[in-house]
Amino acid sequence: MPRPIVATIHLESMQHNLARARQCTPHAKAWGVVKANGYGHGLERAMRGFAAADGLALIEFDNAVRLRELGWSKPIMLLEGFFDASDLHTMAQYDLNGAVHCEQQLAWLEAATLPRKLNLHLKMNTGMNRLGFKPEAFAAAHARLRALDCVGEITMMTHFANADELAHPGLPIREQIRRFELGAAGLPGARSLSNSAGVLQASELADVLANDWVRPGIMLYGGTPGGKSAADFGLLPTMTLASEIIGIQDIEAGDMVGYGSRFQADGPMRVGVVACGYADGYPRHAPLGTPVLVDGVRTRLVGRVSMDMLTVDLTPIPQARVGSAVTLWGKGMPIDEVAEAAGTIGYELMCALAPRVRVVEG
C-alpha cells in the first residue's frame, strides 16, 4: 500500500473558476496562467483544466515548448519575456508571445533576424516597481518595437500591486490605471491590465478599467488574492491534500508533543499522528491552532510539523481511529485559511506540493 497522503486535482473546479473569470470580464479574452507547473497542479492538468482559455501564460521556456508538444495550439505568452537573444529564435520556432520590459530586450529585438513576426506584450511599470518601462518612457519603447520587421502585434500591459484593496493608501489601483492611461495615450494596440485581483474587482472599476486580455492566476486554482474568501468570490478549490491518521497517543496533563516540546497538554487528551510533513509541502512554520479536518470535523494542529508527520488534537473527534480521513486543505478546508494561519498565502502551499506526494484526479 502507498503512503496515505494524496493530492487530488479537481479539473471540473478549474473549468468552473475559468468560467467565473469570464463572468467577471465578459468582454475580455483570458490568459490562463500556468506558471510554476500550473501552481503545483501539473502543467498537463492545467492545460486540460483551462482548455477553454484563449491562451496560456507562464514564465518557463521549457514548459512553453512542452505545451506545444502536448498539442496546445492557441497563444502562449511568456510573462517575463526572454532572457537572452538566443531565446528569440525559440519564440519564433514555437510561436510564443513574450513580454518586453527593459532596454536590453529592446536591443536584442533590434539586432534580431527572425523567420516570423513575434507578438509581444510591452510592459509598463505603473508603480509595482518590478518590471516595465516608466509611463514617460513607454511611448518611445512602443515606437521602437513598432519600427521592427520582426514584431507583429503589440499588446500594452501592466501589473496591479494592490487590486485586492481598491483604496490602498500607498498605491490605489485607480492611480495605477491613471498612470497607465497617461503612458499609453494615443498608442494603438490591445490592453492587458488585470491579474486575478483586478478580474475579481472588475465590476467596481468598470468606469475606468478597459481590458482586452486578462491574466487570471490564483483565482483559477480556487485561491483568493485577498479582499474576501475564495467562496465569497464564487471560486471552488482545485487541489485537496488529504491523508490519514496513522497513530494515536493518549497523553496526560503536562505531557509534551513533538520536536522542541512546543506543545504541552493542559489535561488528558488524544493526539492523532498524520502522515504529512514539511517534506510533503506542508509548512513547517504552521503554528498551534492551524485548522485541520479529521473525519470531516474541524480540529487543530498541535506540536511542531516534522519532515514526515504532524500531530492534531483529537479531542473534538472521539470516534477518530487509525485510518481516519484527514484533510489538510482543499474541499472542506479552504487553502487560504490554512495559509493565513501559517503566515503565508495559498499560492505558496500549492506550489510547494512535493514530488513524493501521489497526485490523482477526481
- Percent of the chain exceeding pLDDT 70 equals 100
The answer to whether residues 217 and 243 belong to one domain is no
Tell me what the mean pLDDT of segment 343-353 comes to: 96
In a domain, 1, yes or no: no
Is position 219 annotated in a ligand binding site?
no
What pLDDT is recorded for position 154? 98
- Tens-digit pLDDT profile for residues 232-242: 999 999 999 99
Active site residue 259: yes
Nearest to 75 by CA among 213, 211, 210, 197: 213
- Residue 13: pLDDT above 90? yes
The answer to whether residues 281 and 217 belong to one domain is no
Tell me what the mean pLDDT of segment 30-47 comes to: 98
The answer to whether residues 285 and 219 belong to one domain is no
- Residue 171: pLDDT above 90? yes
List the domain range (segments joined by +) for residue 296.
239-361
- List the catalytic residue out of 35, 123, 331, 347: 35
In a domain, 3, yes or no: no
The answer to whether residues 172 and 35 belong to one domain is yes
Tell me what the mean pLDDT of segment 142-165 comes to: 96
In a domain, 233, yes or no: no
Tell me what the mean pLDDT of segment 2-26 comes to: 97
Q: How many domains does the chain have?
A: 2
- Residue 226: pLDDT above 90? no
- List the catalytic residue out of 221, 259, 278, 331: 259
What pLDDT is recorded for position 157? 98
Q: What are phi and psi of 257, to 5 degrees?
A: -130, 130
What pLDDT is recorded for position 166? 87
Write the burial class of residue 282 (CB in 10 Å: 0-12 exposed, 13-18 middle, 19+ buried): buried
- Is the distance from CB of 347 to CB of 224 less than 8 angstroms? no
Give the integer Cα–Cα distance in Å for 48 and 161: 29
Give the integer Cα–Cα distance in Å for 335 and 158: 28
Active site residue 221: no
- Residue 64: pLDDT above 90? yes
How far the first Cα of the chain sits from its last, in Å, is: 20
- Residue 164: pLDDT above 90? no
The answer to whether residues 63 and 150 belong to one domain is yes
In a domain, 194, yes or no: yes
- Is the distance from CB of 123 to CB of 160 less than 8 angstroms? no
Give the integer Cα–Cα distance in Å for 123 and 73: 24
What pLDDT is recorded for position 97? 97
In a domain, 56, yes or no: yes
- CATH code, domain with 261: 2.40.37.10
- Give Rg (Cα) of the chain: 23
The answer to whether residues 332 and 188 belong to one domain is no
Task: Transcribe 338-355 into DSSP letters.
Answer: HHHHTTS-HHHHHHT--T
Of 226, 249, 283, the domain-final residue: 226
- Residue 243: pLDDT above 90? yes
The answer to whether residues 169 and 287 belong to one domain is no
In a domain, 231, yes or no: no
- Residue 45: pLDDT above 90? yes
Strand 29-33 relative to strand 256-257: parallel, antiparallel, unpaired?
unpaired
Nearest to 164 by CA among 119, 186, 194, 184: 194
In a domain, 65, yes or no: yes
C-alpha cell at 320: 477518530
Nearest to 216 by CA among 235, 232, 244, 229: 235
Dump strand ranges (E) for 225-362. Answer: 239-251, 256-257, 263-264, 269-274, 291-294, 297-302, 310-313, 325-329, 358-361
The answer to whether residues 118 and 221 belong to one domain is yes
What pLDDT is recorded for position 94? 98
CB pairs under 8 A, 24+ apart, for 87-90?
87/61, 88/112, 88/114, 88/118, 88/150, 89/114, 90/61, 90/65
- Residue 39: pLDDT above 90? yes
What pLDDT is recorded for position 1? 82
Write the burial class of residue 144 (CB in 10 Å: 0-12 exposed, 13-18 middle, 19+ buried): middle
What pLDDT is recorded for position 145? 98
The answer to whether residues 23 and 59 belong to one domain is yes
- Is the distance from CB of 169 to CB of 204 less than 8 angstroms? no
The answer to whether residues 199 and 250 belong to one domain is no
Tell me what the mean pLDDT of segment 36-47 comes to: 98
The answer to whether residues 56 and 152 belong to one domain is yes
Give the integer Cα–Cα distance in Å for 294 and 241: 13
Q: What pTM was computed for the model?
A: 0.96
In a domain, 345, yes or no: yes
What pLDDT is recorded for position 330? 98
Of 226, 250, 283, the domain-final residue: 226
Confidence label for 163 from pLDDT (cuts 50, 70 and 90): confident
Confidence label for 61 from pLDDT (cuts 50, 70 and 90): very high
- Residue 129: pLDDT above 90? yes
Of 205, 226, 247, the domain-final residue: 226
- Residue 254: pLDDT above 90? yes
**Helical H runs in 194-299?**
196-200
The answer to whether residues 43 and 126 belong to one domain is yes
Is position 350 annotated in a ligand binding site?
no
Q: What are phi and psi of 261, to 5 degrees?
A: 50, 45
Tell me what the mean pLDDT of segment 315-320 comes to: 96
